[in-house]
């Protein structure tokens, strides 16, 4: 019976033609391949194995990490395409090792040209992606930064990413600083209104006039924008404003009577003249008007101090 089974696995018709010959027809190469199988069942088992196999297993073997890499490709043809592209880049020099510290200028230039690296550091700031810019105030620091990247032969895409990060960082810092300044300004105003009471506006005028008369318009802005070591604007520090107001009283007492840029001496004289006229024209009413009397005495005192200064 065993011999009969074996015969049936080899001969498929009464003419003595084997199943391999029947399947191969006139294709001798196919016949040679089919003759490796002892039976139709053996061939079918092999075919089923090919149908259900994972081609990545054959390439990767027991290397699970390499197999994971191969999962990126849907078919062996996809892997072959990627391999050819990589070979092309290698032959073009794109993947060659970066020049070492002893490389000559020609080698460095060739590497940069092959990898689309700008020949000069400033080139990182050219042809930026849409919406990405380098402000004039940032070009110096970014130029230094790009110089470091250029020395390391970094790809331009990395340079662009650095510029984008810096712009976002600088914007966030400005927003945080503006919010902090607003909070400190409110804190300072609240504290000084409590200390100065009704003289708050007059004292602010004193500070402004002192800065204007002492430093001029240009350098006044320098003082107004100055910050202490912790980053707080000095004009948002109550003690600084109190000191400047006191200094202004000694230097220019009349400054408290008018906003910066207004002739405070004229304002002083005009207000004194108005109160003296009130006193002359309606003395009974003036004698009962204690605020007017107190104000006139204050103005006289300011005039004397101004004359002394």
Mean pLDDT by 10 residues, the chain (309 residues): 44 65 84 85 73 70 80 78 68 63 82 85 86 86 89 87 89 93 96 93 87 86 92 95 88 67 77 89 91 87 75
18 has which bridge partners? 11
Residue linked to tokens 């060739």 = 110
pLDDT per residue as tens digits for the range 39-82 = 888 877 776 666 656 767 777 778 888 778 878 778 778 777 87
Give the 3-state secondary structure of 141-191. HHHHHHHHHHHCCCCHHHHHHHHHHHHHHHHHHHHHHHHHHHHHHHHHHHH
pLDDT value of residue 21? 85
Strands (E), 83-135: none
Closest Cα to residue 134, out of 175, 164, 173?
164
pLDDT value of residue 53? 65
Q: Which two tokens stand for residue 231?
A: 């980053």
pLDDT per residue as tens digits for the range 254-276 = 666 666 666 767 887 888 899 98
Per-domain residue ranges of the chain: 2-90, 263-309
Measured between alpha carbons, how far is 129 from 143 in angstroms, rounded to an integer? 18
Torsion, CA 25, CA 29, CA 30, CA 32, rounded to 10: 100
pTM of the model: 0.48
């Amino acid at each position: 019976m065993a011999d009969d089974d074996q015969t049936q696995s080899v001969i498929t018709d009464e003419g003595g033609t084997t199943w391999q010959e029947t399947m191969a027809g006139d294709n001798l190469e196919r016949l040679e391949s089919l003759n490796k199988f002892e039976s139709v069942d053996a061939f079918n088992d092999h075919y089923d194995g090919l149908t259900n196999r994972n081609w990545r297993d054959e390439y990767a073997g027991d290397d699970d990490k390499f197999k994971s890499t191969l999962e990126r490709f849907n078919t062996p043809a996809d892997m072959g395409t990627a391999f050819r592209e990589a070979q092309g880049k290698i032959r073009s020099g794109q993947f060659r090792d970066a020049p070492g510290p002893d490389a000559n200028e020609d080698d460095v230039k060739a590497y940069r040209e092959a990898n689309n690296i700008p020949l000069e550091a400033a080139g990182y700031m050219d042809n930026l992606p849409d919406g990405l810019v380098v402000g004039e105030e940032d070009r110096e620091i970014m130029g230094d930064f790009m110089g470091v990247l250029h020395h390391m032969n970094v790809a331009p895409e990395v340079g662009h990413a650095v510029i984008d990060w810096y712009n976002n960082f600088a914007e966030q810092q400005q927003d945080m600083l503006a919010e902090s300044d607003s909070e400190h300004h409110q804190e300072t105003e609240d504290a000084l209104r409590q200390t100065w009471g009704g003289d708050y506006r007059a004292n602010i005028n004193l500070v402004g006039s002192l800065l204007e008369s002492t430093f001029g318009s240009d350098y006044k802005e320098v003082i107004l924008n100055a910050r202490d070591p912790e980053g707080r604007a000095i004009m948002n520090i109550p003690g600084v404003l109190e000191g400047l107001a006191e200094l202004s009283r000694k230097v220019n007492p009349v400054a408290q009577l008018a906003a910066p840029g207004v002739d405070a001496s004229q304002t002083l004289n005009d207000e004194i003249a108005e109160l003296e006229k009130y006193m002359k024209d309606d003395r009974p009413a003036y004698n009962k008007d204690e605020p007017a009397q107190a104000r006139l005495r204050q103005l006289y005192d300011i005039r004397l101090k101004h004359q002394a200064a």
